Amino acid sequence: MTPLVTRAYDRRRLSADERRYYREWSIVILLGLATLALLTSLQWGQSIGFLIYDQFQRWWPAQPSDQVVVIQIDDQTLERSGGWPINRRAYADLLRKLADSHNHPRAVGFDILFPDTMEGDVAFAQQMRRHRVFLSAEPPRADTSLTEERPPLSPVLEAAAAGVAHVNLSFEKDGSIRGVRLMENGMPHLALAMTGGPLLSLAQKESYRRLHLLDPQESGPTVSLSDVLSGMVPLEFFKDRYVLIGATAPSLGDHFPTLYSGERQTGTPGVMLHANLLSNLLHNELIVPLPVWSQAAWSCLVLFFAMVAVLVLSPLAELVVNLAIAFCTLLLSFLSLIHAHQWFDPGLCVIAIALVKPAWVWRRNEMIVSYMGARAAALEQSQRRRRTLGFGLRLRHFASDTLLQYSRMLDKAIEMVSNRLTFLQRLVAQVPVAMLVTDDEGRILLANPGMTQVFSDDLVGQGQDLQGLLTHLGLPSENLEALAARDQLVTVENPKLGMQHFILRMASIDEEGDSPLWILSLSDVTEMRQFQTQREQTLQLLSHDMRTPLASIIALTRKPDGKTVSEDIHRHARTLLEMMDDFIFSIQAQAPRYKRTEALMDDLVDEAVHQVKELAQSKLMPIVMHQGEEPLFVAVDQRLFIRALVNLLVNAVRYGQPDTPIEVSVTSDLGHAQGPVVRCGIRNVVESPSCASAHDTGKSFGLGLAFVRTVMHKHDGDVLIQIARTPGGTALVELTLPMIP
């Protein structure tokens, strides 16, 4: 982005309507983020998230584990055993057969409550001790300690069991089962207790985990208890497997709603869900919901991107981007689910966007209507009075569509502005100087014939970038304010007219509420430059052709003829020559540009000292030089700069105290604020008024400190003058010039 375009986005140039637009966008997005954070923390609006999660589960079903076997108590078992509850001798017989045949399962879990002592408990307990058997029980309440008595459980069976666990399932807010708590009030879940070992560390806290659900019709190995007891199922089938025993008969009511309930027209038995959990534990497939703060952070980030798209894009592009954001959010959630086994709920993001986006669209339309009405009324120089009913209801809403009304007003206003623009084009075309108009982004809007005669259309054509023209002229284009601060002298080579010289001027036209326009004009100063050339030729005539005869007169008067006339001629001719030199130097010092050449500072100082040496000796004032070891180079007009040094040295001799030295120093300053510089200092002792009159030499070059300041200013340098007010004090004049590396 060019600097001209960057300036268009300057905060200080925003109109009141634009500032209101951004302010209301900020308010809407802050309200949206706050609402989203509130919904996340309170876990409201999760219905869409439930639907998305269930659909992901259908696309990515869990695979059953062949290590988990379910012995189900179905209708056939109830019919053969004489109904519910099953005699506990049947369970003892099952465990005895497995132990006697040396087909020990890894663990046996009963999804059955044994609250009371019954006949057969002793035999059942004896067989339980031959296996790792885990019984189910109600977990203690949160307001009781672990040492207090649990809900009823047969003490005979509890003493023989390897552990007691809970079999509770956690319902979501929509009434469906999607997960469990691995630990409730210090009691592990039955499936977690059966795994044993390191997996128990997963439930050190009462954390909620979601199931990677199995399709009930594609679950793992399942057999009927009656078939096992009758010998129809080989006992080797259970060896080194996890065995879960529970009710599946519909009449027992141990069925729970899951995502498959609607498809299967029935709930899923609890023992099947426990087997699902056990399989997930063995394969490390449990789903971990993201923490609330992480869920809120991701959701707010997604909403922020969606609102940025609404702010900076067109409606069609914004719709496409928002759809892409929604798709990427769903994809991120799905990939996080299947790869990291973490659940990020995208439903809240969808709800937030669905709520915030219409609110912002409504505010944007209201701002558009307000802006169009205000601008149209301002352009027409009239404001329609709006009749209102009670409660602020405006009658204009019943006449026709508001946007249509303002569109008609804007059509008239645009036509009026077009007429004004045509008039402005004719006006600019009649201006005698070359002129063009650009907008704040640097695009050329108008260029009169004077400008097109000087430059080609690819530089000043409508729609071209002003930066190309400024680069062609060798001017900086980063800051138009800097160019407008001072006039610029530019030279253009015209194939027909030759070299042309122009003064470039720029001005900004600011209008309240609108971006400023820039006017660039070129004033032809070619004739003025020709006059300046003639002036320089005249100076050359004065400095060369007229000085030569005077120098010859001085040379002739030096012959020893003993005549007083010769001395007078010599004195007056020398005075005339000095006056002419002063005149020439003063004219040359006022030149707009100096012809600078690279020179050694020590050489310039030596030349100036050489010209003043005789004058200093006449007052017994030696000139002491202090020069550094390193050569210091500067870019100067050598003749003018040496004359400035001579002028300062002559002043030091004229107003200095006799028999005192004049110190001249040349140093460098690499740490100067404007870059490396060279300093030349002249220091002497000021003479008292009586001495100054007694030793006046009468020699004057006629050029004062104004000449020195002018020469230093044209060399981008500086002059420091410090003169003591009392006789016998020190006078210091220091010249500062940019140093050439």
pLDDT category at 108 given cuts 50, 70, 90 is very high
* pLDDT per position as a tens digit, 416-453: 767 767 777 777 777 778 888 888 778 888 888 888 88
Contact residues for 118 (Cβ-Cβ < 8 A; gap 6+):
88, 154
Are 435 and 521 contacting, i.e. CB atoms less than 8 angstroms apart?
A: yes
Rg (CA), the chain: 51
* pLDDT per position as a tens digit, 637-672: 888 888 888 888 888 888 888 888 999 998 888 888
Between CA 490 and CA 55 the distance in angstroms is: 73
E strand or H helix at 289, and its extent?
strand 288-289
Look up the pTM and report it.
0.50
* pLDDT per position as a tens digit, 330-362: 888 888 888 888 888 787 777 777 777 777 777
Per-residue pLDDT at 700: 35
In this prediction, residues 506-527 reach a mean pLDDT of 76
Between CA 708 and CA 740 the distance in angstroms is: 21
CATH topology of domain 431-524: Beta-Lactamase (3.30.450)
pLDDT category at 110 given cuts 50, 70, 90 is very high
Domain ranges of the chain: 15-56+291-374, 63-284, 397-424, 431-524, 530-589, 597-738
Residue 691 has pLDDT above 50, yes or no: no
Are 510 and 516 contacting, i.e. CB atoms less than 8 angstroms apart?
A: yes
Percent of the chain with pLDDT over 90: 2
Helices (H), 62-189: 75-81, 88-100, 121-128, 155-160
Note the CATH architecture for domain 597-738. 2-Layer Sandwich (3.30)
Between CA 10 and CA 173 the distance in angstroms is: 51
* Torsional sign, CA 142, 148, 149, 155: positive
Are 477 and 3 contacting, i.e. CB atoms less than 8 angstroms apart?
A: yes
